[in-house]
Structure 1
Amino acid sequence: MVMKMEKIKKKLNGSNVLIGMLTVQVIATGLQLLSKVILSHGTFVFALTTYRHVVATLCIAPFALLWERESLKKVTWSIFFWLFMIALTGIIMAMGLFYYGLKDTTATYATNFLNLIPIVTFIFSTVLGMERLRLKTKIGKIKLLGAMLCLAGALTITLYKGKVFYISHNHKHQNISKANENVVRGTIFLMCSCMSYACWFLIQAKVSKVFPYKYSATFIVSMIATVQGAIVGVCIDRRKASWKLGFNLQLITIFYSGALATAATFCFISWTVTKKGPTYPSMFNPLALIFVTIAEAVLLGQEMSIGSLLGMFLIIVGLYSFLRAKTQELTQIGLPNPGDAEAPPPPENGIITRTKNMELPILALENARFLPTPVEVAPAPIEKQEDKDEEKQSI
């Protein structure tokens, strides 16, 4: 009976993680659809970005101030500079460009590019010497194949359309030439967004080594992003109408994106990483693409094409292949080498570092921040031989 109860508890724990990750993808789906609707109705991109991170800052602040209050005193000018760069590359550039691309295309089309971020990050890290291809190994070949499939899928979606069909009868006929012009411009925005996200992850890898405090870092980055977004937005558009908020879908989207898509999602993913490892959340990202495709076609009456479905399939297969190979590679690197005569000496500061996964998608932050700190066990005192001899003589 006890064994059965333990098995049930294990299954429930596993299902909790699964439900959490499905919830993250549902939240991401809602964010893409809401953002697409309000951007299509003229919402200013940087007003949305600024207000979103005001809400995110307020939501993350209690966690940073209660649990990591002392870490805020460790912020030096050097750390502040790198946090500033994280906000600039990952929010102002990457998120801003993504919103502009989403505005000119569709939610499904834009979400396809989000799944290319791990591949672009892998390419950048390889060029910079932070990652090795390992083409002589099976894992290296699978990673390369997965990257090629993702790129092939992106090219298929961009260049090939094929037969068009609709699931819902509520579709709207648009000017084809204008739509094509918007798609080309939106594709450029989305490609630049992917490259900005890749730079964002590379910078985060550096920052996590010097400031490994997830809540404090997110709190500071959100504040910096709020100021940056306001400054850039005012430089682009100073009209009061662009910054005005009303009790409408725009306000709902701002609170939804700040509280759920940023703060709640961050907590869900950090909890999942501690339970299942850093790559586990990445495996669920293609589900958002499927959810967005179905929801956009049914609710918004968006057209679907053979080319988009084929490209979507190639991206999902390529991404899963790449992430699976990357997981196996990290596992192999983490295992001790039985051929080594001596174990490597511990670091001087006593902190055991973890292998960094550079290919996590946008929502999965640095895995080193979420992994529990190993507990140091004090070595047993060594008895001297002279003490033992004295004890024997006394006996």
Structure 2
Amino acid sequence: METPKREVIEDFTIIGGLIVVQMIYAGNSLLLSYLMSLGLNSFTLIIFSAFSTFLVLSPLCIRFERTKWPKKFSLKLLIQLLLISFGGITLFQSFFLQGIKLTSPAVATAMPNLAPGLIFVIAWVFRLEKVKLSCMYSQIKIVGTLLCVIGAITMSLMHSTIDTPTEKEVQLLTLLTDDSKFDKQKIIGCVYLMAAVFVLSSNIVLQATALVDFPAPVSMCAITSLIGAITTAVLQLIQEHKLETGWPAMSFGHLIGYSLLGGTINGACVSFNGWAIKKRGPVLVSMFGPVATVISVILSVITMGDSITLGSLAGMLLMFTGLYFVLWAKGRESLSIKDGDTLKSEYDTETPLLS
């Protein structure tokens, strides 16, 4: 039986759109790295981008999700929203931007591929993910998680090695001790990125529980973006005793304009991903994550002159292999759940978080 023309067009749209979204994410990482190299404060980036995302997503929330809003916000839900905002906006983006600054966009886009494995571990610890050690799918998920972690550590260490010295540097490098063979700044940057991914993974687990009482993901994103912008501004006031609203290399008006443009693009990407998940499921969407890493590597080499070692590529390969192990096992697990006697709600806390 031939596939209907409409379904072919829809498949083409989804696959092409997901590739474009990953290209945007890769380009955004490169742009952020460039802006911070010119002296733009990371707190300023977080505040403006989060507030812009709130402005862009708010009309969509009112139009499409108003009926899903809870009639009353309980104290538990308010605390969850505050934690999601502080973790997902302030902490995650602060660690992530600092990691980009100290490493490279290629490494920064590779690290989030650890998230599915970490989410699995965190959910397992809090008994939100069912694991049977005798089950083949659970064993594959565990192996995939270990491969992700080993790959991330390998890539971090290999990316942090000092490049091959020139003839003029040979005499200087012979004076260095063995402990100096690694670039400490890049190692610290990788630690920041790993911390960012851990915060992101914990945040996703918290979001999964919050969506039970607030089943409106786009609305939650808008609300947490607003709260995150406010908490980041407060943190900047506490830490730096001032609130920067500009940048010497750019006027305030231009900064507002670029922030709104970034918020619009981010809102469009979030909305498209949500539509793609609804049409084809989260497994397919997650499998396009490594595309951003590959694009970032290419762009970093072309535009910024970064060099990618064979060891770094091997680490990325291990991470991607582990990621696909976890996603494949979760996909097969999801099929077995659908074939069972019980049907579970999309936001049921008993439903595996990675399904």
Distance (whole Å) between structure 2 residues aligned to residue 352 and residue 157 of structure 1 = 36
Q: 1:164 Cα deviation (Å)?
A: 5.8
Whichever residue aligns with residue 189 of structure 2, its letter is G
Question: Of 274, 277, 283, which aligns to 1:273?
Answer: 277
Asked whether the 8 Å contact 1:25–1:285 carries over to 2, the reply is: yes
Change beyond 3 A, Cα 1:252–1:314: farther
Change beyond 3 A, Cα 1:163–1:50: closer
Change beyond 3 A, Cα 1:132–1:76: closer
Q: 1:291 Cα deviation (Å)?
A: 0.6
Q: 1:103 Cα deviation (Å)?
A: 1.0
- 1:26 counterpart residue number: 23
Deviations 1:89-138 (A, max 9, x none): 11111121111111111111122211111111111111222223323122
Q: 1:312 Cα deviation (Å)?
A: 0.8
Tell me the TM-score normalised to structure 1 length: 0.78
Change beyond 3 A, Cα 1:66–1:74: farther
| 1:52-67 equivalence runs, <5 A | 52-67=49-64
Whichever residue aligns with residue 263 of structure 2, its letter is G
Confirm whether residue 193 of structure 1 aligns to residue 193 of structure 2: no
Asked whether the 8 Å contact 1:31–1:256 carries over to 2, the reply is: no
Give the % identical residues.
Answer: 26
Confirm whether residue 44 of structure 1 aligns to residue 21 of structure 2: no
Q: 1:198 Cα deviation (Å)?
A: 1.6
Question: Of 115, 118, 125, which aligns to 2:116?
Answer: 118
Confirm whether residue 332 of structure 1 aligns to residue 336 of structure 2: yes
| 1:130-279 equivalence runs, <5 A | 130-160=128-158, 180-239=183-242, 242-245=244-247, 246-247=250-251, 254-261=259-266, 263-279=267-283
Q: 1:141 Cα deviation (Å)?
A: 2.0
**Range moving further from structure 2, 185-194 or 131-140:** 131-140
Whichever residue aligns with residue 222 of structure 2, its letter is F
Tell me the TM-score normalised to structure 2 length: 0.86
Distance (whole Å) between structure 2 residues aligned to residue 258 and residue 178 of structure 1 = 41
Change beyond 3 A, Cα 1:35–1:352: closer
Change beyond 3 A, Cα 1:43–1:72: farther
Asked whether the 8 Å contact 1:143–1:322 carries over to 2, the reply is: yes
Distance (whole Å) between structure 2 residues aligned to residue 277 and residue 267 of structure 1 = 14
Q: 1:256 Cα deviation (Å)?
A: 4.7
Asked whether the 8 Å contact 2:70–2:213 carries over to 1, the reply is: no
- 1:364 counterpart residue number: none
Matched residue of 1:58: which SS? helix
- 1:290 counterpart residue number: 294
Deviations 1:49-79 (A, max 9, x none): 0000111111011112233335264333332
Confirm whether residue 308 of structure 1 aligns to residue 327 of structure 2: no
| 1:314-353 equivalence runs, <5 A | 314-337=318-341
Distance (whole Å) between structure 2 residues aligned to residue 182 and residue 11 of structure 1 = 48
Give the total of aligned pairs. 336
Matched residue of 2:127: which SS? coil
Distance (whole Å) between structure 1 residues aligned to residue 40 and residue 333 of structure 2 = 44
Whichever residue aligns with residue 47 of structure 1, its letter is T
Asked whether the 8 Å contact 1:21–1:284 carries over to 2, the reply is: yes
Whichever residue aligns with residue 283 of structure 2, its letter is T
Q: 1:36 Cα deviation (Å)?
A: 0.7
Change beyond 3 A, Cα 1:149–1:278: same
Deviations 1:132-186 (A, max 9, x none): 3323122122212211211121121122357969xxxxxxxxx997981211221
Whichever residue aligns with residue 322 of structure 1, its letter is V
CA RMSD of aligned residues (A): 2.8
Q: 1:216 Cα deviation (Å)?
A: 2.1
Asked whether the 8 Å contact 1:205–1:356 carries over to 2, the reply is: no
- 2:353 counterpart residue number: 358
Matched residue of 1:143: which SS? helix
Q: Which has a greater percent of helix?
A: 2
Distance (whole Å) between structure 1 residues aligned to residue 263 and residue 213 of structure 2 = 27
Distance (whole Å) between structure 1 residues aligned to residue 80 and residue 14 of structure 2 = 32
Distance (whole Å) between structure 2 residues aligned to residue 287 and residue 319 of structure 1 = 13
Uncovered stretches (5+) of structure 1, i.e. residues with no partner? 166-174, 338-343, 360-366, 368-395
Distance (whole Å) between structure 1 residues aligned to residue 130 and residue 219 of structure 2 = 32
Distance (whole Å) between structure 2 residues aligned to residue 356 and residue 45 of structure 1 = 37
Asked whether the 8 Å contact 1:87–1:222 carries over to 2, the reply is: yes
| 1:67-78 equivalence runs, <5 A | 67-70=64-67, 71=69, 73-78=71-76
Change beyond 3 A, Cα 1:34–1:179: farther
